[in-house]
Amino acid sequence: MHLCGIYAIIFNVFGGNVEILHISNDEINNLNKLVLNDNVSNTESDVFFYHYSGRKYVLKELDFFDKNKWDNKIRTLLSIDGNRDVIPNYFIKPEFLLSSNYEIKYWASSFFDGVNLNFILNNKNISFDIKKKYLRRIGYILKQMDYIRRNTKLNDFYIGDLNENNFIVDSSGRILICDIDSIKINGNKSSVSKYINPFSLFNKAGTSKYTIDNSVSRVSDYVVDNNTDLYCYNIMIMNFLSGKRINDITIEEFYRYLNYLNDIGIDHNMIEIFNKIILEEDNCNPCYYIDSLTEDKFIKARRYNV
């Protein structure tokens, strides 16, 4: 079957009206790579600037040579496009797909002038209150997604690869979710996550509420759900407090740090929520306790050598 026919079948099954444009090999060779901040880790594929109809877009490359992975990415992008009326505008959604030689090789999203959240959290010239505001906002986003799951047809809708690099703060101060081809939606397969992996803190604790999805090889990782999103969010906050990579420390070091946070007066409710991420009970959202963090406590939290 001709590939255009395959595209039509995929689109009919997964929904969405996203446009497919053609790009020549010469245009591909002339694409300009998007330069990331030094403290932002590389994405799983190259990203480029692209101009179309007088607007600037960002292209993300799709791996056409791994059929399972390609199918899963296309399914994800089309599910997002088909649910634009439900998915909030702080998700940077796909605008169109680009094909070359009858192969869909890129997906395009609007370009937003801004900086990565990881850059903001690590910038000493940005105030502590602004950093708290964005961390708190992520917690509210997770709460809104829970509302969407309970009250709309999107009952399987999670960020998945939730980490500091996958949020952008634009020039107007809005926080946006980027790299959304890794989100969990409409029964697609879990994508690899920065914080959910066999070496994660919860694995060192032997916690069983995070489970591996083996239904499709080379695509699936851990089952993405509310516990995994909240695990990643809690890790982000603890990374911010400690200035270290909390997911990489030992269980003993984790408990020593929780005790230290208690000693310096961090809200005990927040500490209990941190503790839950390696226990069997469901994780909780700590966003309501972020305002209890003062700059003085933050400075003390960073003094501990985790």
Q: Are residues 78 and 161 in the same domain?
A: no
Same domain, 216 and 68: no
Are 206 and 293 in the same domain? yes
Asked whether residue 290 falls in the same domain as residue 163, the answer is yes
Q: Which of 76, 82, 84, 65 is nearest to 107 (CA)?
A: 76
The partner residues of 158 in beta bridges, in order of sequence, read 184
Cβ(108)–Cβ(49) under 8 Å?
no
User: Are residues 247 and 172 located together in one domain of the fold?
Assistant: yes
Domain boundary among 87, 110, 133: 110
Q: Is the pLDDT of residue 103 over 50?
A: yes
What is the DSSP code string of 94-109? EEEEEEETTEEEEEEE
The pLDDT, as a whole number, for residue 206 is 95
* pTM of the complete model: 0.90
One domain, residues 31 and 131 = no
Same domain, 275 and 128: yes
- Per residue in 140-189, pLDDT (tens digit) is 999 999 999 999 999 999 999 999 999 999 999 999 999 899 899 998 98
Give the CATH number for residue 259: 1.10.510.10
Number of domains comprising the chain: 2
- Pick the more confident residue, 65 or 95: 95
Average pLDDT, the chain: 89
Nearest in space to 275 (alpha carbons), one of 246, 243, 240: 246
pLDDT at 12 over 60: no
**Band of residue 111 on the pLDDT scale cut at 50, 70, 90:** very high
CB contact at 8 A, 73 and 131: no
Based on the domain organization, do 266 and 232 belong to the same domain?
Answer: yes
User: Quick one: pLDDT band at residue 216, thresholds 50, 70, 90?
Assistant: low
Q: In this structure, are 278 and 141 located in the same domain?
A: yes
pLDDT tens digit string along 238-263? 999 999 999 999 999 999 999 999 99
194 plus 232 within the same structural domain: yes
Q: What local confidence, expressed as pLDDT, does residue 43 receive?
A: 54
Pair 100, 121 in one domain = no
Neighbour order of strands in the sheet with 94-100: 19-22, 94-100, 103-110, 55-61, 47-52, 32-33
Residues 257 and 158 in one domain: yes
| pLDDT score for 192 | 79
End residue of a domain, out of 110, 138, 167:
110
Confidence of residue 4 (pLDDT cuts 50, 70, 90): very low
CATH of the domain at 93: 3.30.200.20
Quote the domain boundaries for residue 51: 3-110
> If you average pLDDT over residues 11-22, what whole number do you get?
67
What's the average model confidence in pLDDT over 258-286? Answer: 98
Out of 85, 110, 135, a domain closes at: 110
